[in-house]
């Protein structure tokens, strides 16, 4: 079981599963961040654990319980469908959790994840790093300050290459939960909820399997249109529309219009254009700040101070509900209503910072 963490003491962190493409990034950041002590990596594939641990000179654990006994918090970077089981294991061990997005592949699993952490009294944070992207924060500030007036319409684009180049499970619906809609709706859905402080009440979505050489396993193209309780409308292009030849993985942008005008952000605009040989081609190495660092710093702070994270498990659940509504709309060919918590049986609650409640854990 974890022990109370004294102020200024380094937070002991572990990684559960290195299946996700983000695992190496998380490990290298955690290995270098002040305030964190990277304890090790566990993966059910011991070879994968060892391969992930080696570059940051940390320990690969064979036994998940052994790792959990030595940490205050874990980052879960497994395939989407395994989130629930690993969160439950961590929560049972009394360890705080930062779970990769999407929180789960079904609303029921997302709800179970939230409930497991509540029951165990551990903190649950969903990995939505976009909230720490400076451009996204500038948009949030423009709305919060009133500079944009009353927001009216948000148009988001979160498109990328098909992630099977990183790991095959991304395009196996049994392990990923779905294709482009599962992979790319949640970042912007969460950003929009955060900016608007409102919940989605209706979703319309369309999808197809034309892109990526007519890849048949999961949907590769998707467009989602939603309406918020506040009356604001928003759309998301979540397609895996970047071909293999694209100079980077993809991007995230938003065009917002409000009564005060328009405000556009391009979260990954800060990159060079590098023209190499015919073989290396063109690449866009990023030079802007890494939002993952801000997100991990928040998690370290949450564990250290035992407080509510800026992005909660409920936020992760809400995003999964929006994805679920998008799939229901695709199946129905029509807009579908979405009532917060309705399908998951969770009492309505605003985004994380709306209530700003501090919850004390019984076991600490």
| CA–CA gap between residue 328 and residue 330 (Å, rounded) | 5
Kindly report the CA angle at 322 between 316 and 326, in degrees rounded to 5? Answer: 145
Q: Is 268 a residue that touches other proteins (CB under 8 A)?
A: no
Nearest partner of 319 among 73, 80, 97, judged by Cα: 80
Helix, strand, or coil here: 331? helix
Q: Is 227 a residue that touches other proteins (CB under 8 A)?
A: yes
208 or 301: whose CB is closer to other proteins? 208
Question: Minimum Å distance from CB 171 to other proteins?
Answer: 16
Question: Minimum Å distance from CB 242 to other proteins?
Answer: 6
255 or 283: whose CB is closer to other proteins? 255
Question: Minimum Å distance from CB 128 to other proteins?
Answer: 23
Q: Is 212 a residue that touches other proteins (CB under 8 A)?
A: yes
Q: Is 283 a residue that touches other proteins (CB under 8 A)?
A: no
Q: Contact region for other proteins (CB under 8 A) — 3-11, 98-106, 129-137, 241-249? A: 241-249
| CA–CA gap between residue 266 and residue 134 (Å, rounded) | 10
108 or 246: whose CB is closer to other proteins? 246
Q: Is 269 a residue that touches other proteins (CB under 8 A)?
A: no
32 or 230: whose CB is closer to other proteins? 230
| CA–CA gap between residue 216 and residue 89 (Å, rounded) | 34
Question: Minimum Å distance from CB 257 to other proteins?
Answer: 4
Size of the chain in residues: 364
Of the candidate residues 241, 309, 341, 346, the single one contacting other proteins (CB under 8 A): 241
| CA–CA gap between residue 157 and residue 159 (Å, rounded) | 6
| CA–CA gap between residue 307 and residue 309 (Å, rounded) | 6
Q: Is 210 a residue that touches other proteins (CB under 8 A)?
A: yes
| CA–CA gap between residue 336 and residue 103 (Å, rounded) | 22
In the chain, which ranges are continuous DSSP H helix? 23-32, 46-53, 64-68, 83-92, 107-120, 134-144, 173-176, 180-196, 211-214, 291-305, 313-332, 352-355
Q: Is 243 a residue that touches other proteins (CB under 8 A)?
A: yes
Of the candidate residues 261, 285, 289, 345, the single one contacting other proteins (CB under 8 A): 261
Tokens of 94: 């009394």
Tokens of 284: 């866009």
Q: Contact region for other proteins (CB under 8 A) — 6-14, 24-32, 39-47, 218-226? A: 218-226
Q: Is 223 a residue that touches other proteins (CB under 8 A)?
A: yes
Residue 249: how many CA atoms within 13 Å on its side-chain side? 13
Question: Minimum Å distance from CB 341 to other proteins?
Answer: 23
| CA–CA gap between residue 158 and residue 95 (Å, rounded) | 32
Residue 125: how many CA atoms within 13 Å on its side-chain side? 27
Binding to other proteins in span 304-363, by CB under 8 A: 333-335
Question: Minimum Å distance from CB 263 to other proteins?
Answer: 10
Question: Minimum Å distance from CB 297 to other proteins?
Answer: 34
Q: Contact region for other proteins (CB under 8 A) — 73-81, 85-93, 120-128, 207-215? A: 207-215
Q: Is 237 a residue that touches other proteins (CB under 8 A)?
A: yes
Question: Minimum Å distance from CB 207 to other proteins?
Answer: 7
Nearest partner of 339 among 203, 177, 190, judged by Cα: 203
Please return the burial class of 114, using the count of CB atoms within 10 Å of its CB with bins 0-12, 13-18 and 19+: buried
Binding to other proteins in span 103-162, by CB under 8 A: 152-153, 155, 157, 159
Q: Is 211 a residue that touches other proteins (CB under 8 A)?
A: yes
- Where does this chain bind other proteins (CB under 8 A)? 152-153, 155, 157, 159, 202, 204, 206-208, 210-214, 220-223, 225, 227, 233, 235, 237, 239, 241-243, 245-246, 255, 257-259, 261-262, 333-335
């Amino acid at each position: 079981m974890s022990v109370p963490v004294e102020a200024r003491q380094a937070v002991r962190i572990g990684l559960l599963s290195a299946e996700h493409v983000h695992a190496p990034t998380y490990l290298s950041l955690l290995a270098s961040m002040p305030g964190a002590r990277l304890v090790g990596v566990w993966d059910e594939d011991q070879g994968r654990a060892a391969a992930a641990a080696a570059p940051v000179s940390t320990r690969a654990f064979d036994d998940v319980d052994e790792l959990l006994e030595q940490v205050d918090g874990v980052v879960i970077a497994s395939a989407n469908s395994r989130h629930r089981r690993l969160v439950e294991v961590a929560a049972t061990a009394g360890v705080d959790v930062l779970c990769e997005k999407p929180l789960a592949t079904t609303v029921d699993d997302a709800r179970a994840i939230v409930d497991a952490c509540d029951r165990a009294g551990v903190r649950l944070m969903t990995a939505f790093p976009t909230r720490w992207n400076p451009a996204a924060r500038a948009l949030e500030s423009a709305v919060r300050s009133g500079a944009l007036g009353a927001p009216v319409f948000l148009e988001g684009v979160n498109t990328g290459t098909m992630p099977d180049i990183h790991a095959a499970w991304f395009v196996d619906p049994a392990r990923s939960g779905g294709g482009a809609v599962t992979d790319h709706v949640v970042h912007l859905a969460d950003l929009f909820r955060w900016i608007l402080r409102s919940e989605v009440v209706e979703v319309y979505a369309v999808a197809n399997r034309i892109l990526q050489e007519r890849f048949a396993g999961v949907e590769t193209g998707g467009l989602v249109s939603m309406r918020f309780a506040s009356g604001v409308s928003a759309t998301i292009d979540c397609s895996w529309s970047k071909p293999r030849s694209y100079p980077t993985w993809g991007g995230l942008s938003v065009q917002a219009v409000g009564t005060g005008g328009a405000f556009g952000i391009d979260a990954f605009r800060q990159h060079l254009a590098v023209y190499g040989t015919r073989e290396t081609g063109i690449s866009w190495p990023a030079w802007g700040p890494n939002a993952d660092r801000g997100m991990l710093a928040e998690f370290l702070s949450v564990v250290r101070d035992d407080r509510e994270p800026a992005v909660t498990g409920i936020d992760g659940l809400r995003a999964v509900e929006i994805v679920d509504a998008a799939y229901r709309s695709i199946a129905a060919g029509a807009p579908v209503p979405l009532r917060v918590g309705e399908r998951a049986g969770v009492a309505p609650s605003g985004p994380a910072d709306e209530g700003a409640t501090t919850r004390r854990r019984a076991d600490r």
